[in-house]
Amino acid sequence: MLKGKRIAMTGLTGQIGSSVAALLAPGNEIIGLARYTKQGSLEAAEKLGVQAVKCDYTTGDFTGVPDDVDYVLHIAADTFPVDFDTGVHQNGVGTGLLFNHFRKAKSWIYVSTTGVYWDHPDPWHRYKETDRLGGSTRITSRFPYGPTKFAGEAVARTLSEIHQVPVTIPRMNWSYGVGGNGGLPGGLISAVYEGRPVNINPDWENVGSPIHENDFTGQLEGFFDAAQIGGNIVNWAGDDPTSVERLVPWIAQVIGKDYTFNQTREATSYPRATDNAKRIAMVGRCAVPWQEGLRHLIRHRYPDLQLRDAADPEPGPHR
């Protein structure tokens, strides 16, 4: 775990960033850049021990933002851009403006997404960093996040070359934990507990690899150390893939609730399991199995709930 570093960080008010800030702030100097428009968000950041700095980096205005940092952790993104142009500006152009300001850093992490990969017909396909890119062809018209994050990757790699600043580009899968909204697994827990149906697509099993906040925060130091001029790209996901269709019955069994699925082709995610060999060689295996991590998250949210035993879902495709 990082200690004694001065780190500029974006996305602090989001799910990944809030988890990272809570775990790193006690041992590091965190400069948290955000617009802090939500009531109480700035105060919440300061309560964690973060130096909260109001900044919308996508405008290029860095008034009052220091540039003398050891590392930059760029997590912030427009995850639901209203159109391609907006997404490219927020996730691509904004990244370039931010990189240019922090060009004196020792190394960078630009957090991307496994949504940049071109769809494979097998929902259990393990995407490698060398697989074809382009984002989901099935949902891009309604959800242009993946392609605009690929634009951000290209910008980060270009500025890395121009300023000779090493950068690692980890492509995040299903992050989760007690921070923020709990990620996709946290949303499934809430839906089952509250008796709401969970949307699934009838055409594919929605596969992913959950990674706990303790793991993804603990791996940051290794990513900074592994940064390269021009970008070092790596999948960022848990070691055990599963799916929404398997997690929901498991969660329901653990908390003692019924569940329902709602089949709809409007579901806005496509399966992304990953080959993690490169990440394992770089920073090691994950320490928190998703079963353990989800139980911890359930206990955190519902401390009075008596959790039950549940059999692990069978691995591999079941459709």
CA distances from 221 to 152, 164, 284 (A): 22, 20, 12
> 316 versus 155: which is more confidently predicted?
155
- Regarding pTM above 0.85, the answer is yes
Give the pLDDT of residue 11: 92
Is 84 a residue whose pLDDT tops 90?
Answer: no
Judge contact between 177 and 214, C-beta under 8 A.
Answer: yes
| CA distance linking residue 3 with residue 6, whole number of Å | 9
Residue 16, both tokens? 């990944």
- As a whole number of Å, the end-to-end CA separation of the chain is 40
3-state secondary structure of 185: helix
In the chain, which ranges are E strands? Answer: 6-10, 29-34, 51-54, 71-74, 107-110, 112-113, 126-127, 167-172, 174-176, 198-200, 207-208, 210-212, 232-236, 242-243, 261-263, 273-274
How far, in Å, CA of 312 to CA of 61, rounded? Answer: 50
Domains and CATH numbers, the chain: 6-176+213-236 (3.40.50.720)
pLDDT value at residue 82? 82
- Per-residue pLDDT reduced to its tens digit, 236-253: 999 999 999 999 999 999
pLDDT confidence tier of residue 319, bands split at 50, 70 and 90 = very low
At 176-206, the pLDDT tens digits run 999 888 999 999 999 999 999 999 999 889 9
> Any bridge partners for residue 113, and if so which?
172
Residue pLDDT, tens place only, 124-161: 999 999 999 987 766 544 567 788 898 999 999 999 99
Residue whose entry in the numeric block shows the structure tokens 């760029």: 74
Block residue for tokens 């934990």: 177
